[in-house]
Amino acid sequence: QAVRQAVLHPSFHFLFWSYFVCGFHTAFITLHLPAFVTDSGLSAADGATALALIGLFNVIGSFYAGKLGGRYSKKWLLAGTYAMRAFGIILVLAVPLTPLVLYVFAAWMGLFWLGTVPLTQGLIGDIYGLRYAATLSGIVFLGHQVGSFSGVWLGGYVYATTGSYNGVWWLGLGLAVLAALLCLPVRER
């Protein structure tokens, strides 16, 4: 009954599809960033360092996303997180890739990497209550996993057919904006 109620509630769908975008970004970047970096003329070590920076800054970003989510509107923080991801992707698209640009991008994306998790899970608890929060969170997380598959597969497909990741970066930018917009109509209660 709780699942049926949630599926009929528009906010549940907004959270599902915004989480799809989170999965798309995190899986695409994690898997394809090293190849993108070497294709851009940087070293594999630069790609590895970028992934390490994402992980390091993710610790900070996730902690503060949860902390801020306890004080401020989670939907606005979630929308802001996706908007800040869009800004990071714009950096990669607009500025020639150097080690410094790559490291700034990685640190920036790390700050907004999995900060979506405490905010999304918090919204599910706030909106639907805690009794079935684990079940409902699992269903919303399915959106993340479908997004992850899509990001990895599409990244490989686009690269194999065009020889470039640019199309997927542009799609990632559009999806980040869409996810930010999807969070705005979420009803927090």
Dig out the tokens for 135 from the structure: 């079940």
Give pLDDT tens digits for 58-80.
Answer: 999 999 999 999 999 999 999 99
Judged by phi (left if over 0) then psi (alpha if -120 to 50, else beta), residue 97 lies in beta
Query: What's the first-to-final CA gap in the chain, in angstroms?
Result: 18
- Tens-digit pLDDT profile for residues 89-112: 999 999 999 999 999 999 999 999
pTM as predicted = 0.93
Answer yes or no: are the C-beta atoms of 5 and 180 closer than 8 Å: no
Cα–Cα distance, 161 to 38 (Å, whole number): 18
